[in-house]
Structure 1
Amino acid sequence: MNRKERRAGAAGGNRAAAADPAAPLLAQGLALHRDGHAAPAEALYRQALAVRPGHPDALHLLGMLACGAGRFADAADLIGQAIAGNRTVPDYHANLAFALHALGRYEEAESACRRALRLRPGLPEAANTLGNALMARGRPAEAERAYREALRGRPAYAEAQGNLGAALRALGRAAEAEPVLRAALAALPGMAEARLALGRTLADLGRTEEAEADLRAARAARPDHAPTLAALAVTVERRGRTAEAAALQGRAIALVPDDGELWNLHGQSLLRLDRTAAAAGAYARAVRLCPGMAEALTNLGSVRREQGDPAGAAALHRRAAAARPGYAAAHVNLGLALQDLGDAAAAEAAFGAALTHDPAEGAAALNRALLRLRAGRLGEGWADYAGRPAGPGPALPEWTGGDIAGRHLLIRREQGLGDELMFASCYADAIARAGRVTIQCDRRLIPLFTRAFPQAAVQRPADDPADADLHVRAGSLPRVLRDRLGAFPPRPAWLTAEPQRVAERRARLADGAGPVVGIAWTSWRSDRTRRAAYTTLDQWGPLFAVPGVRFVSLQYDGRYDELAAAQRRFGVTIACDPADDLANDLETAAALTAACDLVVSVASAPGELAGALGVPVWRVCAPDWTHLGTAVRPWFPTMRPVPPPPGGTPGDALVRVARDLAALAGARR
């Protein structure tokens, strides 16, 4: 029994037996109740009611027995009858609040707590339950005050201390929450809710290994507690175990199938597992359960867009934005769907709305930048591009233009290898303007960049440029140096391969008078969002049918099984040396690329490397923002884009490539 029950029993037992003939029965029942003998205690309480119908203490104690048995509706009814008989007992109101909270009637529970606290200010149990009701109603700041009031009344109140820790975490004060939760668990190790809150807090602090251990301990105490399963799923997801996270979410959903938040989280995990249809089903279930859940609406919209339904996606994103005004992500996703529908003006307005609601929304700035750059609006586009998400950088001023003669400029790498190669076309111009330049780049590019830019120091991103005066991200250089199409220099190349290696590769590849053609057909990043930009090697049959061509694989991730299957199927030889590590040894990749007469590539790093080396390259891709509103890619003078036919795929474009390759090979012969 808890303290509230003891106080309630004492209130009845102090009455003189002559004045209250039910008092001896209540006293006997209370003693049994305290010792855990619920059935005989209940019998005595009911005898007391028979002796004195409507006895408030008897009704209250019967209500507490119902609470202990988990019959909270009965408890609320019985304690409510007790209050009707005597409204002046604070414990009645506090225990009614406990039952109402257990029933999910949080607003009524809050009111009952406040009545108890008016009757007895600082009553610890009432203040603690008030905090719980406020937390359930999404008011953690008020809950914190309530829990602190409970602890002032009883400093050793471990439950209130654990609840305070959970409130601090909900307020984003994880570092403050951790010691509070640890103290609560030291006093009462079996508090599963506090253990759960500690696990979540450690996850918030990025200490996922510790978080997982605490959450597993919480799960061991309550194997079928859905919130613990869901929190554990989030933690193992962060540790890269998405399949396990999805399984945990599935178990939690089996326990609480009407929890829309869980369905939404499950959809996110399923999507990461590339189970798009299942993710769509999970998001749709979340929307049915919670029609106003903006996250589920916009998540479902994003999947519908991936499934080729931009109109349906746009409708869902609009519902999400209406459900939560100011939800920037919904406006970003709406803009992407409208862009797919060909309504560039409406898409730009949607991105603008996202930035109005949240000026720091980097995805909105980036997508509006790409839309404007795709249209050839370089000035506006580069200005937006500067607002793209950025990682931590040095404590240096950023170069956004102006005279930097005599200054030491640090150029910082960003994004993928292909982007780094493209933006490196600006490095020579930056070097010409600055007094000194340090280039930070992918470690694999250091030999190539050192040879290409001898006036600059080239280093890894982790190295410290000790005396730099200012910095610039590589992708921000075009804002200063490529603000118009006329600012793109006609230089055919800015990288060179090591000459001796190139000569060796050419000697090995020479085979008659036909051209040597390097090919790259896909990317290791061929996930669900990028798959449509790539091809399979089976689609290259028309090229392999062109006579007199010597093919060589530039595919950096090997794919030797695919190569072997294609050679068997098409009766063609595709040169490939498994000893070459084209992913990590870019000097070898550059030499092999430079030994080719032509490179045919999808939109991936081998094509960018070919363009940077000045090798003729046919890039099989739909027009994207890097075309800057033109039919070419101004960054790469030797590159020729080959777009798919209207409504087609990159695989469809290979038919045209094969025809042009046949003409090239014929001319060579």
Structure 2
Amino acid sequence: MSNQRKSGTSAAATAAALVGQAVALHQSGRLGEAEALYRQALAAQPRQPDALHLLGMIACQTGRLKEAADLIGQAVAAKRDVPDYHANLAYALQALGRSTEAERAARNALRLRRPFPEAANTLGNALNAQGKAAEAADAYRAALRARPDYAEAEGNLGAVLRSLSRPDEAEPLLRHALATNPALTEARAALGLTLLDLGRADEGETVLRTVLAQRPDHATALPALAGSLQHRGGDAEPAYRRYLTLEPADAEGWNAHGLALQAADRITPAAEAFARALRLDPKMAAAMTNLGTIRRLQGRAAESADLQRRALDLHPGYAAAHTNLALALQDLGEEDRAEREFTFALDTDPAQALARFNRAILRLRQGRLTEGWEDYTVRFNSGRLKPRRPFNIPEWEGGDLAGRRLLLWAEQGLGDELMFGALLPEALTRFPGAIVECEPRLVPLFKRSFPGTIVRAPTRRPTDADCHLPFGSLPRLLWKTAPVPPPPAGWLKPDPGRAAAWRSRLDALGPGLAVGIAWTSQRITTERRQSYTELRDWIPLLRLSGLHVVSLQYDGREEEIAAVESRLGLRIHRWADLDQIGDLEGTAALMANLDLAITVASSAGEMAAALGTPVWRLGRSDWTQLGTAVRPWFPSMRCIQPDGGDGIGGTILKAAQMLARLCQGDL
């Protein structure tokens, strides 16, 4: 044997011995000492495959992934028939995001050994990262067939099935994986997402919060939690802000954050978020149309229309942009073009409920009742109103009611309930035996107003009715064409005893007109702000002589009232023993004795008018006038509208002038 061969054999033996010593240290967790011995082995035999492989594994364990892939790759090049080398190379490459190379290495491992659950799991990860979710699921299943207790593979399979829109299959897999190994953070995050997909938002949010307690920087759990909170009307903004601190270059995240800010009526920050999304992705049509919506809310309708057109240039046929362009055109007074845009949106996406709802409002404002009420049927799906109540009985479509009992139920807020309720006298005549469910505070008033009718608060699962109909669907059946038959004036009946008591209290104020006023709303948003006022705007009216002004502002506003009283040296009447929110019987008894009520768009005005009290309603013409100069729902109501470009303040001056003439007997 030559000296050269003896030297090579000696070097190989030395390297093997060093690797053997290092393995024991490696297995006991003494990585630094093991690494030193592996390097000595490589100094003795530079291409020693086990030393390269195991040194690469230490690099992998200590987060030096690029070095790990390089070392294990050298081991594979030195000895290509070891399946573990290929499997661990695949793991390192996948951790580096080099999914195509990882897939190739994992497949090499599986060609050399089958079954090989770890390699199959890594193959699934590589395929999933490339968007090949169905193939990834097959790989995870192969891993589980080889090793049924492989919790990581089971969690990965659950996650990929969830991504394939199969949450019912995903949930049990994820729960079982977590029961086996509670430390699987990604499986827990996937479970949270799955529960959200299944509509179990409370459970899903709880799971996602658990994930974030363990990993505050989890980039999937944060936006998912924020999105769920936003969908449910919660405060999503902190979660989005935290996420965007971690991922500031995520244009989709900024767009979602903008929507959350808009939902919270934080209009200026919302505009900044949408603008940032567009800086990151100038071709993001969703952010473009959302920014356009903000500009419309800011009163910049022409700029809004331009942004919507640019969104449509980026994404032709984008239904949301057509809808938002229509709204901008409507603000610009171009109603015909607005209607065409709403229709374009529906042609593109027949399920675009918001477009159809807004087209309904446009048509109703024009007095086109048949078309308008037909479009209005989608209101519960538009996102602009409260959701439809769930029922265990079908909705009535207007056919023959023979042998069936109808349940009529109130929808939306108190003002809408009273407005649509104006059709109840006719409805109860046409549909005898119908049951009425309304706001609990209104039950006594409605019982008195509709004697012989079952009136009650909402029930969960009614057992005494065969079909149902929301109040807002009554006009589609009863008011198909204009002009509509006006409801009876004063259909809402106050308690006679309480009304008499309030008559005495108002008489005690002395000679003069008792005039109730309501000047604002409990819920003011940017979109609604122009419809409301401050009490100080009413000073020209409050200074008139011969008045006893009564506050119908149900939310109190004591500081605002006291400031105006002090400034003018007068009294705005309110009574500590009347809760205008909780005690609607008492409120109705007071309103029924007023000589006049002057209100902005408010449930106070609706109730006073339903009682038959004369009401002057201040504000711009809206769809509830159904194309007329009045509001047909309330025969005792008069609409006072601003001139031209004047704001609502101009209507207060008009009302003051009219009231002065009334006091002088000229009206």
**Which position in structure 2 is the counterpart of 1:255?**
246
Residues 350-369 of structure 1 mapped to structure 2, 5 A cutoff? 350-369=341-360
1:219 and 2:216 correspond? no
Q: CA deviation at 1:479?
A: 0.9
**Which position in structure 2 is the counterpart of 1:657?**
655
Q: Distance in 1 between matches of 2:185 and 2:480?
A: 59
The question of whether the paired residues in 2 share the 8 Å contact of 1:404 and 1:435 is answered with no
Partner deviation per Cα, 1:97-119 (whole Å, 9 max, x = no partner): 43343334445544554554455
* Secondary structure at the counterpart of residue 667 of structure 1: coil
Q: CA deviation at 1:551?
A: 0.7
Counterpart of 1:197 (choices 184, 190, 197) is 190
**Which position in structure 2 is the counterpart of 1:429?**
426
The question of whether the paired residues in 2 share the 8 Å contact of 1:495 and 1:613 is answered with yes
Q: Distance in 1 between matches of 2:37 and 2:317?
A: 59
* Secondary structure at the counterpart of residue 487 of structure 1: coil
The question of whether the paired residues in 1 share the 8 Å contact of 2:423 and 2:487 is answered with no
Q: CA RMSD in A?
A: 3.3
**Which position in structure 2 is the counterpart of 1:528?**
526
Q: Distance in 2 between matches of 1:324 and 1:134?
A: 30
The question of whether the paired residues in 1 share the 8 Å contact of 2:86 and 2:106 is answered with yes
**Which position in structure 1 is the counterpart of 2:607?**
609
Greater displacement, 352-361 / 580-589: 352-361
Structure 1 pair 551/668, CA: closer, same or farther in 2 (3 Å)? farther
Q: Distance in 2 between matches of 1:315 and 1:121?
A: 61
Counterpart of 1:308 (choices 275, 281, 299) is 299
Identity value in percent: 55
Partner deviation per Cα, 1:406-435 (whole Å, 9 max, x = no partner): 642221221111111111122222222224
Greater displacement, 335-344 / 598-607: 335-344
Structure 1 pair 569/149, CA: closer, same or farther in 2 (3 Å)? farther
**Which position in structure 2 is the counterpart of 1:5?**
none
**Which position in structure 1 is the counterpart of 2:577?**
579
1:374 and 2:374 correspond? no
**Which position in structure 2 is the counterpart of 1:484?**
481
Counterpart residue type for residue 563 of structure 1? I
**Which position in structure 1 is the counterpart of 2:269?**
278
* Secondary structure at the counterpart of residue 629 of structure 1: coil
Query: Which structure 2 residue ranges, 5 or more long, are not aligned?
Result: 1-7, 381-386
Counterpart of 2:550 (choices 538, 549, 552) is 552
The question of whether the paired residues in 1 share the 8 Å contact of 2:598 and 2:615 is answered with yes
Q: Distance in 1 between matches of 2:438 and 2:130?
A: 50
Q: CA deviation at 1:483?
A: 0.8
Structure 1 pair 490/226, CA: closer, same or farther in 2 (3 Å)? closer
**Which position in structure 2 is the counterpart of 1:628?**
626
Q: CA deviation at 1:163?
A: 2.0
Q: Distance in 1 between matches of 2:104 and 2:313?
A: 32
**Which position in structure 2 is the counterpart of 1:179?**
172
**Which position in structure 1 is the counterpart of 2:65?**
72
The question of whether the paired residues in 1 share the 8 Å contact of 2:391 and 2:461 is answered with no
Structure 1 pair 175/571, CA: closer, same or farther in 2 (3 Å)? farther
The question of whether the paired residues in 1 share the 8 Å contact of 2:422 and 2:487 is answered with no
* Secondary structure at the counterpart of residue 611 of structure 1: helix
Structure 1 pair 340/113, CA: closer, same or farther in 2 (3 Å)? farther
Q: CA deviation at 1:371?
A: 1.6
**Which position in structure 1 is the counterpart of 2:5?**
none
Counterpart residue type for residue 278 of structure 2? V
* Secondary structure at the counterpart of residue 646 of structure 1: coil
Structure 1 pair 220/611, CA: closer, same or farther in 2 (3 Å)? closer
Q: Distance in 2 between matches of 1:324 and 1:38?
A: 55
Q: Distance in 1 between matches of 2:264 and 2:390?
A: 32
* Secondary structure at the counterpart of residue 583 of structure 1: coil
Greater displacement, 435-444 / 109-118: 109-118
Q: CA deviation at 1:603?
A: 0.8
Counterpart residue type for residue 564 of structure 1? A
Name the count of aligned residue pairs.
653
**Which position in structure 2 is the counterpart of 1:648?**
646
**Which position in structure 2 is the counterpart of 1:34?**
27
Counterpart of 1:342 (choices 320, 328, 333) is 333
**Which position in structure 2 is the counterpart of 1:157?**
150
Structure 1 pair 288/107, CA: closer, same or farther in 2 (3 Å)? farther
Greater displacement, 228-237 / 414-423: 228-237
**Which position in structure 1 is the counterpart of 2:459?**
462
Counterpart residue type for residue 369 of structure 2? L
Q: CA deviation at 1:342?
A: 3.1
Q: CA deviation at 1:188?
A: 2.0
* Secondary structure at the counterpart of residue 370 of structure 1: helix
Partner deviation per Cα, 1:524-567 (whole Å, 9 max, x = no partner): 12233322221111211111122211110111222222221221
1:127 and 2:120 correspond? yes
Structure 1 pair 42/210, CA: closer, same or farther in 2 (3 Å)? same
Q: CA deviation at 1:449?
A: 1.6
Partner deviation per Cα, 1:138-175 (whole Å, 9 max, x = no partner): 55444433322221222121111222232344344445
Q: CA deviation at 1:576?
A: 0.6
The question of whether the paired residues in 2 share the 8 Å contact of 1:405 and 1:434 is answered with no
Q: Distance in 2 between matches of 1:60 and 1:655?
A: 88
Structure 1 pair 455/22, CA: closer, same or farther in 2 (3 Å)? same
Counterpart residue type for residue 344 of structure 1? E
Greater displacement, 451-460 / 172-181: 172-181
Structure 1 pair 98/263, CA: closer, same or farther in 2 (3 Å)? farther
Q: Distance in 2 between matches of 1:126 and 1:102?
A: 14
**Which position in structure 2 is the counterpart of 1:144?**
137
Normalised by the size of structure 1, how large is the TM-score? 0.87
* Secondary structure at the counterpart of residue 664 of structure 2: helix
Q: CA deviation at 1:277?
A: 1.9
Partner deviation per Cα, 1:56-114 (whole Å, 9 max, x = no partner): 55544444333222233333444445555566555444434433433344455445545
Q: Distance in 1 between matches of 2:102 and 2:26?
A: 25
Structure 1 pair 606/186, CA: closer, same or farther in 2 (3 Å)? same
The question of whether the paired residues in 1 share the 8 Å contact of 2:392 and 2:461 is answered with no
Q: Distance in 2 between matches of 1:474 and 1:48?
A: 85
Q: Distance in 2 between matches of 1:294 and 1:112?
A: 40
Q: Distance in 1 between matches of 2:114 and 2:251?
A: 38
Greater displacement, 33-42 / 476-485: 33-42
* Secondary structure at the counterpart of residue 632 of structure 2: coil
Counterpart residue type for residue 420 of structure 1? E
Counterpart residue type for residue 472 of structure 2? G
Structure 1 pair 296/28, CA: closer, same or farther in 2 (3 Å)? farther
Counterpart residue type for residue 606 of structure 1? A
Normalised by the size of structure 2, how large is the TM-score? 0.87
1:98 and 2:91 correspond? yes
Counterpart of 1:412 (choices 409, 413, 422) is 409
Counterpart residue type for residue 124 of structure 1? P
Query: Which structure 1 residue ranges, 5 or more long, are not aligned?
Result: 1-14
Structure 1 pair 377/192, CA: closer, same or farther in 2 (3 Å)? same
Q: Distance in 2 between matches of 1:498 and 1:70?
A: 78
Structure 1 pair 182/394, CA: closer, same or farther in 2 (3 Å)? closer
Q: CA deviation at 1:521?
A: 1.0
Q: Distance in 1 between matches of 2:523 and 2:127?
A: 46
The question of whether the paired residues in 2 share the 8 Å contact of 1:405 and 1:433 is answered with no
**Which position in structure 1 is the counterpart of 2:436?**
439
The question of whether the paired residues in 2 share the 8 Å contact of 1:485 and 1:634 is answered with no
Structure 1 pair 53/19, CA: closer, same or farther in 2 (3 Å)? closer
Q: CA deviation at 1:601?
A: 0.8
Counterpart of 2:635 (choices 634, 637, 655) is 637
Greater displacement, 453-462 / 163-172: 163-172
**Which position in structure 2 is the counterpart of 1:12?**
none
Counterpart residue type for residue 493 of structure 1? G
**Which position in structure 2 is the counterpart of 1:6?**
none
Counterpart residue type for residue 648 of structure 2? P
* Secondary structure at the counterpart of residue 665 of structure 2: helix
**Which position in structure 2 is the counterpart of 1:497?**
494
**Which position in structure 1 is the counterpart of 2:4?**
none
Counterpart of 1:619 (choices 607, 612, 617) is 617
Q: Distance in 2 between matches of 1:636 and 1:426?
A: 10
* Secondary structure at the counterpart of residue 572 of structure 1: coil
